[in-house]
Structure 1
């Protein structure tokens, strides 16, 4: 829901173009990744992927591992911060955001304890339903209320009546535009998790079908609701857009459903991160796949440590917009574009243009 703010910075034309181009690049790079993994089915995570595309370089493997951990832990921190702000909005209690961050962290640890992703399927469906309800409520409330509460430039009506515009407003600087673009591109770079998901699929060859559905739904969700939100909030848009709602009851009703996807997404990233470290620590020992006291002890300690680090980042970077920009700038280019450009080159070197036309024909 930060995309409404991105549109308020970029305007209709650059904003919508950025959203659509990011979606197309996501689809192409994800298909490329899947084709490469099908040729190397022993790849089980993004680190293996980096190891192979860079000529089986050990340095590339370790670098990918570091980037995986940094990206996921910072992203978990983002969801700790988001969860804390949601609880802060829902509660009229005097507890500070730090206390709510601790509560979200503890909830995340408990939900992340199962080692497999089997339980995530149900949670993901429930999470998607809750997010859908939250978005629908936001759109309804934004449309029926008299005016938004405030924007980053001041409270309503200090910036004048609500208005929308095709291009950035005069005075908008490069940094603001880049932050808006990074907020958009961040949503389109989940490929870091895809190798792990493909490795656990019963039929990895069906991944393109799931990808097509995901891309179609994502294009709708990442373009239509933000556009409607921008229409009613205009220059008063914030990140997330729920914060701009003028009626407190409306804001609480919308935020209430967001806590579920906030936790579930954090759990998914914690699970992937924990599996990577756990695999490195346990190797091929019996503890890696058996229900031993040592195995479970190490796993729970890892999960607790991962969420604790996320909590620290949540306290260091207290702005959601800055969090997304940091993630977008530091990791999106690597895991969203560079890795898959190299994979494409590896698959079609010696016939790059032939491969390109072939790929477009297959698409």
Structure 2
């Protein structure tokens, strides 16, 4: 029975891969049939994948998005000022919704897509080159992001312990905890962790806003200890002396926060009803709109030009800083686990193929899974020691990867979905022009944005940034 079902699925998948297109009601019939067949096989496996409802998917999305990067936005506002800062945040939110819906429509047309690499393969006309390129970008982006969370974990532990151990040792401890927590092989199990991640990050943000409001003055900023740069102030536009590189990196920090789509195809691939993904997306959009604008605005209001990335570092009372920043350790680890799971699953699938070990509780299956996780976190640890600062990490990731996975891929997907009717009516024309703008934004972030990110890293290494694999104190 299993063999017959798997052969049937493979034939259907092959037919779709050859470019058979479906639209409207027939599209959903194809999706239902594909999911039903795969689900029938999948639920008979010891390790089943298509098990997530849209509610669990929403929790997983929130766990990924409610992260420390929110606390870097007060610094972005301090560089850009109120007007460019708010406009950039709102614009990124709008483009996030448009590109995510385009991505979902494309996956509904090609429901055999399992990850962003498959997405790149189909969106560029079933190009093997696009698949290889997308695979490299997926691995590089996710491992760098895991490295960012290793760096963050070391910073949290340094801050809480007042630097009782070497920073490189704290990074190792964070990586080991990440490996242990990455044991589950399905996102269904990881989604439960995401609830705790979101809750802890929410508490950290709430405590930060309270402490920032009640303390007398910030502790320090990039221009020196308070009141070196004068009384706390806010401003509508960038201050005199602000460089183009500073502004571009501030924009990249905001862009990074709004571009999580690299994981979306992997999440959709584990949903029982992929067509329900927009419901989860709507929940995420509502949460993101509030959290990505309100806390950073409050932080800028009370920290002004002294805002740092993350903003916890500017709190004037050390106990306030430790009390709020300490909660960040939970989302730091769990978000790292989410990216590690998606990355490991991609590598694991290439190694195990369709063998029984890929979906069964065998010694070989679990042994290979553990070794893949060990490799991912080890490489991430190296990156965490090499890239000099959190701000540099976010800017580099945004420019190198978000340009493709947040903008360029989805502008091309829109073109693929609407070939022959790009200007058939006022509404369609407006959407086409919007997607041309999305493509241009992606190209701008990839070109001038990447240049600005590299310039910032060079400047940091020529300044006071500590060298790689150091024992120097990295506490806030």
Q: TM-score range by the shorter chain?
A: over 0.9
Instruction: Supply the distance in 1 between the matched residues of 2:253 and 2:115 (Cα, whole angstroms).
Output: 25
For 2:89 and 2:321, the matched residues in 1 are separated by 26
The alpha carbon displacement at 1:358 in A equals 5.3
Q: How many residues align?
A: 361
Mapped to 2, the partners of 1:355 and 1:306 lie a distance apart of 49
List aligned pairs for 1:21-170, cutoff 5 A.
21-170=91-240
How far apart in 1 are the matches of 2:224 and 2:163?
26
Instruction: Answer yes or no: is 1:177 the counterpart of 2:247.
Output: yes
> Which residue is equivalent to 1:231?
301
Say whether residues 1:291 and 2:373 are aligned partners.
Answer: no
- Structure with the bigger RCO (C-alpha within 8 Å, sep 6+) is 1
Alignment of 1:263-274 (within 5 A): 263-274=333-344
Pick closer, same or farther for the CA change 1:148–1:272 going to 2, 3 Å.
same
Cα distance, 1:353 vs. partner? 2.7
Contact 1:288 1:295 in 2 (8 A): yes
Q: Please, which of 342, 345, 350 is the counterpart of residue 412 of structure 2?
A: 342
C-alpha distance in 2, partners of 1:126/1:356?
A: 45
CA displacement at 1:250 relative to structure 2: 0.1
How far off is 1:360 after superposition?
Answer: 7.9
2:316 to 246, 251, 276: 246
The partner residue of 1:186 within 256, 276, 287 is 256
Task: Name the SS for the 1:297 alignment partner.
Answer: helix
Shift of 1:94: 2.5
TM-score, with normalisation over the residues of structure 1?
0.97
Q: Tell me, in whole angstroms, the C-alpha distance in 1 between the residues paired with 2:148 and 2:429.
A: 36
Bigger Rg, structure 1 or 2: 2
Query: Retained in 1: the 8 A contact 2:309–2:390?
Result: yes
5+ residue gaps, structure 1: none
4+ residue runs over 3 A deviation: 358-361
Selected match of 1:219 from 274, 289, 299: 289
Instruction: Indicate the RMSD between aligned Cα atoms, in angstroms.
Output: 1.3
Q: How far does residue 287 in structure 1 lie from its aligned partner after superposition?
A: 1.4
Q: Which structure 2 residues correspond to residues 345-356 of structure 1 after superposition, within 5 A? A: 345-354=415-424
Secondary structure of the 2:334 match is: helix
Assess if the C-alpha contact under 8 Å between 1:16 and 1:223 holds in 2.
yes
CA distance in 1, matches of 2:272, 2:364: 29
Q: Which one is further off, 234-243 or 280-289? A: 280-289
Give the TM-score, by structure 2 length: 0.75
Q: Is the 8 A contact 2:422 2:428 kept in 1?
A: no
Instruction: Name the counterpart of 2:85.
Output: 15
- The whole-number CA distance in structure 1 between the counterparts of 2:336 and 2:282 is 24
Greater CA drift, 112-121 or 24-33: 112-121
Give the Cα–Cα distance (whole angstroms) in 1 for the partners of residues 148 and 362 of structure 2: 33
Preserved contact between residue 423 and residue 429 of structure 2 (Cα < 8 Å) = no
Counterpart CA distance in 1 for 2:158 and 2:276 is 42
Deviation at 1:170, TM superposition (A): 0.1
The answer to whether the Cα contact below 8 Å between 2:184 and 2:190 also exists between their aligned partners in 1 is no
**Counterpart in the other structure of 2:396:** 326
Distance 2:373 2:430 in 1: 42
Deviates further, 66-75 or 202-211: 202-211
Note if contact 2:82-2:237 (Cα within 8 Å) is conserved in structure 1.
yes
Structure 1 distance, partners of 2:163, 2:290, is 37
